Structure 1
Amino acid sequence: MNTQAATVGKGHRGLVLAMLLLVYTFNFLDRQILGILAEPIKADLGLSDGEFGAVGGLAFAILYSILGVPLALLADRTSRSWVITGALTVWSGFTALCGFATGFWHLFAFRLGVGIGEAGGVAPSYALIADYFPLEKRARALAIYSLGIPVGLALGTLLGAYIASSVDWRIAFLAVGAAGIVVAPIFRFLVRDVPKRGRAGGPPLAPVSMVFPMLAKKRSFWLMSFAAGFSSLCGYGLALWTPSVLIRSFGLDLVTTGQFLGSLLLIGGTAGVFAGGWLADRLGHADRRWYAWLPAIAWLITAPTFAAGLSTGVLPIAWALLLIPNGLNILWLGPVTTAVQNLVPPHMRATASGSFLMVNNLIGLGVGPWLMGAVSDGLKTGHGVESLRYAVIGCLAFYLLAAALMFVASRSLRSEWWDEEQGTAARSGT
């Protein structure tokens, strides 16, 4: 059992997890609000689908992906809670500044700033959870933390739609940015690091020059990172563009689109994320390969159900079909983040997570939103208003590629798992 986790009371663990969940909710609220506001922003600033895709993906991903590793290393060597607090303050401030954008480059620059801030949020949070929770409860804890994704996406969709319809899209950015800045000092007051063993006679804190070579030798790390990246290519692209598909192809207004997507994300997304963590804890204890099998199976179902839901012209049928993939497409979060945490010793966890997130986000965030927008621009001459729907459906093939890579990753995952008790890579069946 994790000796660090054993020294922390259950009630305090719950408080820390709740605060991390709140911060993660703001993380995705600030991302998704851009998607629901796509049509009014494009109309106001005169942006094409390709330009808006670059703002929603590439602008955010460039520094978000690159700075994730050094900020994770800083968190491992200093204070994870302080790094998260600073990150929340920075990304919330830049989110508010998006409300002042007057053109493509203004908005691009402010989204770069949001990416800089959010780069310091996730990997240190993964590491804090791994410190606070023992292995047998870790996937569930990480899954609860990951509920911030569907909850944040849903709130971003709903709040953005209501505020933009009632006032203006700029006020929506200002409101959610200000709320994040208010939460930051509260988080810092309530959340403290577990004392690092590297400062009490345990393993020294590891530099990235030690962590990355260890990960680079592990086949399962690369396969899981690229699989998650291709899944995220679809996921981030869908998050940005599905509101526009509903407005253009289904004829919904902004508020109805927010209600439609918000309900899907809250019901399907939360159920899928929690189910992934719960199943991984139960099945992964018997066979580590389930940490890879579960996401692979989920993605195989996700691709055709998303395509069917987006293809139908009947709104109630579309909602019922889309509920399935909105749960399954992010089921991977608990299993895969747990597996990555357990490929290295405890004092390397934040840096390992940062390395994983760099690969995942360069592919997912950097390519997905831009690719769907660029393909839509290319199809516009022949397909008109339906070009975006066809572009989104075509890109769903990346879910199938992700599933194939994850099945291959399962073959080496058991032998590369780090044994916390023995301090070695596991070689047993579990």
Structure 2
Amino acid sequence: MTTAPSREAAPASGYRYYVLAVLIFVYMLNFLDRQIVGILATPLKAEFGLTDAQFGLMGGLAFALLYSTLAIPIAWLADRFSRVWIMTAALTVWSGFTALCGAAGSFGQLFLCRMGVGVGEAGGVAPAYSLIADYFPKSQRARALAAYAFGIPIGTAAGTLVGGLLAATYGWRTAFIVVGLLGVLAAPLLRLTVRDPKRGGMDEPVPVETAAPAPVANMVAAPPKAPPFGQVLKTLLPKPSFWLLSFGAAASSVCGYGVAAWLPSFFQRSFGLTLAETAWYYSGIALVGGLTGIWLGGAVADRLGRASRGAYPLVPAIAFLISVPCFLLAMNSGAIIGAVLPGGDANGAAALTLAFVIFLIPTGLNLAWLGPITASVQHLVPANMRTTASALFLLINNLLGIAVGIFYFGWMSDLLRPTFGDESLRWAIYTGMGFYLLASALLIGASRTLKKDWVD
């Protein structure tokens, strides 16, 4: 037995970070197109006469159904063919359907267009996870994947700000068309400048059998072949860490996606902001809080993970526990200001400022899981199974998180409206905080099983 290096020539450091920057930009477009419907909820509901629950179906189920299920066969292809080509095609498709949303003449047409967005975005994330794992060594992967996740707050902020301002000035149709065409124009940048690296090229050397010892310079490792789908399932599904990580992330995403989609409406209903004011206000919260929380989650997990693999899920588990009371305080900033300043709740500027500052904390904490958990999933299987493993993880996370989360808060708002009137959305969000507590419990469980299930 000799040890063959699994690396060819490691990608140059500068190019590695360029690739990461391009992938972040593409992920930003992914979330821009995905989250733009949140800021457009008020004009869309007025245009098509929708209830909160109907809007939740359009914003959640229409997107998540095909997005989650098609990710599996697309990931199977990405483990065998060019990941960059697949991502380029996906970017073109989801951006094109986003632009078509601007031409929808009925709720049914808009629903179908959002399904088309989901079809395209099914090929956007799992291949990117695999690419990043092959560009960065495992000691840096949580931070690299956390940096990739910067696309979430940047895209959410851009979708909220650009979509809201365009809709307030030119109408919601223009907002869809402009952001969709942006993605179509960006697709060639991905295809022409990003190379598909060797799979497993940044992993540790692995032992291979040789007939006789050979000079190290002459030893090469055959690229790992993508295994059958059934073998991936056989490797992954018996591991309790996969289920705990997947359902823990999904429970957090029910609340995360749901709150992100409905907070713009909450700010308009309960804080009295206009569409344009909401666009500026919420985009700032999403950008500053999200970037800070994602980076800290990845950096802290990478540091603590050197001593214990269990730190990867434990860091976000603690973050979720802290985020719940912060959300409740931020949503009740008016009552807090009324208790300490003359003028009571009429002091709206002070209440808005306090809410902005407090909202930064849970907005960051509820995204801190992205780097640590996605890095953990990458290490549950060998390198040639990573894309498919990521897609299986995303199937559970997104099917529950997006489809259930966005619909849940809309449905609960309609259910509570007879009792709470225009404040029903506030109380719907209160009930959703329980999903963060469930997520924390599941991830604490994963912290106890991950060391056994980890694949170096």
- TM-score of the superposition, structure 1-length normalised? 0.95
**Counterpart amino acid of residue 290 in structure 1:** A
Q: 2:402 aligned with 1:365, yes or no?
A: yes
What residue is the counterpart of 2:181 in the other structure?
A: 178
Query: Match of 1:204, SS?
Result: coil
Q: After superposition, where does 1:76-155 map in structure 2 within 5 Å? A: 76-155=79-158
Shift in Å at residue 228 of structure 1?
0.2
Shift in Å at residue 358 of structure 1?
0.3
**Counterpart amino acid of residue 395 in structure 1:** G
- Structure 1 CA distance for aligned equivalents of residues 324 and 272 of structure 2: 24
What residue is the counterpart of 2:343 in the other structure?
A: none
**Counterpart amino acid of residue 290 in structure 2:** G
Q: After superposition, where does 1:22-61 map in structure 2 within 5 Å? A: 22-61=25-64
What residue is the counterpart of 2:240 in the other structure?
A: 219
Q: Is the 8 A contact 2:99 2:179 kept in 1?
A: yes
What residue is the counterpart of 1:404 in the other structure?
A: 441
* Count of aligned residue pairs for this structure pair: 419
Q: Deviations over 1:4-47 (max 9, x none)?
A: 48621101101110110000000001112110010011101111
Relative distance call for 1:106 and 1:5 in structure 2 (3 A) is farther
Relative distance call for 1:206 and 1:50 in structure 2 (3 A) is same
Query: Match of 1:418, SS?
Result: coil
**Counterpart amino acid of residue 242 in structure 1:** L
- Structure 2 CA distance for aligned equivalents of residues 273 and 2 of structure 1: 33
- Structure 1 CA distance for aligned equivalents of residues 233 and 80 of structure 2: 16
- Structure 2 CA distance for aligned equivalents of residues 394 and 173 of structure 1: 31
- Structure 2 CA distance for aligned equivalents of residues 394 and 104 of structure 1: 28
- Structure 1 CA distance for aligned equivalents of residues 246 and 417 of structure 2: 33
Q: Is the 8 A contact 1:212 1:355 kept in 2?
A: no
- TM-score of the superposition, structure 2-length normalised? 0.90
The partner residue of 1:190 within 166, 190, 193 is 193
The partner residue of 2:77 within 74, 82, 90 is 74
What residue is the counterpart of 2:383 in the other structure?
A: 346
What residue is the counterpart of 1:273 in the other structure?
A: 294
Q: Which runs of 5+ in 2 are unaligned?
A: 202-219, 335-350
- Structure 2 CA distance for aligned equivalents of residues 196 and 278 of structure 1: 25
Q: Is the 8 A contact 1:291 1:339 kept in 2?
A: yes
Q: 2:251 aligned with 1:252, yes or no?
A: no
Shift in Å at residue 201 of structure 1?
2.3
**Counterpart amino acid of residue 385 in structure 1:** D
**Counterpart amino acid of residue 323 in structure 2:** T
Shift in Å at residue 200 of structure 1?
6.5
What residue is the counterpart of 1:237 in the other structure?
A: 258
- Structure 2 CA distance for aligned equivalents of residues 81 and 411 of structure 1: 36
Q: Is the 8 A contact 1:2 1:135 kept in 2?
A: no
- Structure 1 CA distance for aligned equivalents of residues 7 and 275 of structure 2: 48
The partner residue of 1:391 within 423, 428, 431 is 428
Q: Is the 8 A contact 1:26 1:152 kept in 2?
A: yes
Q: Which runs of 5+ in 1 are unaligned?
A: 420-430
Which of structures 1 and 2 has the bigger CA Rg?
2
Q: Is the 8 A contact 1:2 1:131 kept in 2?
A: no
Shift in Å at residue 149 of structure 1?
0.2
- Structure 1 CA distance for aligned equivalents of residues 421 and 73 of structure 2: 44
Shift in Å at residue 197 of structure 1?
6.6
Q: Deviations over 1:266-299 (max 9, x none)?
A: 1111011111111111111111000011010000
Q: Is the 8 A contact 2:154 2:286 kept in 1?
A: yes
155-164 or 190-199: bigger deviation: 190-199
Query: Match of 2:367, SS?
Result: coil
Relative distance call for 1:154 and 1:294 in structure 2 (3 A) is same
Shift in Å at residue 202 of structure 1?
3.7
Q: Is the 8 A contact 1:4 1:194 kept in 2?
A: no
Shift in Å at residue 203 of structure 1?
2.9
**Counterpart amino acid of residue 362 in structure 1:** L
- Structure 1 CA distance for aligned equivalents of residues 18 and 271 of structure 2: 42
Give identity over the alignment, percent. 53
216-225 or 308-317: bigger deviation: 308-317
Q: Is the 8 A contact 1:5 1:134 kept in 2?
A: no
Q: After superposition, where does 1:294-305 map in structure 2 within 5 Å? A: 294-305=315-326
Q: Is the 8 A contact 2:200 2:383 kept in 1?
A: no
**Counterpart amino acid of residue 47 in structure 2:** D
- Structure 2 CA distance for aligned equivalents of residues 184 and 224 of structure 1: 32
Shift in Å at residue 192 of structure 1?
1.2
- Structure 1 CA distance for aligned equivalents of residues 166 and 246 of structure 2: 37
Q: Deviations over 1:129-174 (max 9, x none)?
A: 0001000111111111000000000000000111011111100000
**Counterpart amino acid of residue 355 in structure 1:** L
Relative distance call for 1:383 and 1:218 in structure 2 (3 A) is same
Relative distance call for 1:159 and 1:2 in structure 2 (3 A) is farther
Shift in Å at residue 356 of structure 1?
0.3
Query: Match of 1:176, SS?
Result: helix
- Structure 1 CA distance for aligned equivalents of residues 332 and 45 of structure 2: 24
What residue is the counterpart of 2:357 in the other structure?
A: 320
What residue is the counterpart of 1:228 in the other structure?
A: 249
Q: 2:327 aligned with 1:306, yes or no?
A: yes
Q: Is the 8 A contact 1:5 1:131 kept in 2?
A: no
Query: Match of 2:283, SS?
Result: helix
The partner residue of 1:376 within 394, 409, 413 is 413
**Counterpart amino acid of residue 153 in structure 2:** P
Q: Is the 8 A contact 2:6 2:200 kept in 1?
A: no
